[in-house]
Amino acid sequence: MQAEQEDRFQEFVRARWSHLVRTAYLLTGDAHLAEDLTQTALAKAYRSWRRVSRSDHPEAYVRRMLVTCNSDRFRKRRVREALTAMPPERAAGEDAVSRADERGTLLRALAELPSRQRAVVVLRYWEDLSEAEVADTLGCSPGTVKSQASKGLAKLRVYPGLAQVVDRPEARRTSTAGLGGNR
């Protein structure tokens, strides 16, 4: 790779790393796995950076690589992930603790969704992509995005403990517990 292309790639990684890791975390439910997944996707992007950088939306291109790498990991081996009931670190203050509990509930609920539904819900409602963008990212039709989102949201609505978190007025206002998350 030429030095100029290398610099552009490094600039892209510096600018988008945390955003890509956050998306990967929502897809996997595990911080370490999210970083590994992001590194894998970026390694693939590096190998084809000329093509990636020439696309209209390099970030969307890499995001699709991220989702594909996540799907590939399920093809290689079937390991059921078990998230812990409580995060290992304790937040300061009661409000911070309740937000951490709410986020943990949301992450456990997301982890229960099939990978395709989880990808659609994360990309559509956390990343705030349009149905067309999600369809393009996942390589499916907008109708598939709509049906997978509908099924995923229906499962999230009945997940124990999640409905009461999302239905609280302060949760809707701040959206820290909902799928809007912190941006």
All domains in the chain, ordered by first residue: 3-76 (1.10.1740), 94-174 (1.10.10.10)
Find out whether 148 and 117 touch, Cβ atoms under 8 Å: yes
Q: Which of the four pLDDT bands, split at 50, 70 and 90, describes residue 118?
A: very high
HEC assignment per residue over the chain: CCHHHHHHHHHHHHHHHHHHHHHHHHHHCCHHHHHHHHHHHHHHHHHCHHHHHHCCCHHHHHHHHHHHHHHHHHHHCCCCCCCCCCCCCCCCCHHHHHHHHHHHHHHHHHHHCCHHHHHHHHHHHHCCCCHHHHHHHHCCCHHHHHHHHHHHHHHHHCCCCHHHHHHCHHHHHHCCCCCCCCC
Give the residue with greater pLDDT, 28 vs 82.
Answer: 28
Token digits for 96? 């911070």
What pLDDT is recorded for position 53?
87
Residue with tokens 């890509």: 20
Side-chain-side CA neighbours of residue 13 (13 Å): 17
pTM for the model stands at 0.56
Tokens 């292309």, residue?
Answer: 5
pLDDT per position as a tens digit, 10-34: 999 999 999 999 999 998 888 999 9
Q: Encode pLDDT of 144-177 as tens digits.
A: 999 999 999 999 888 887 766 555 544 444 443 3
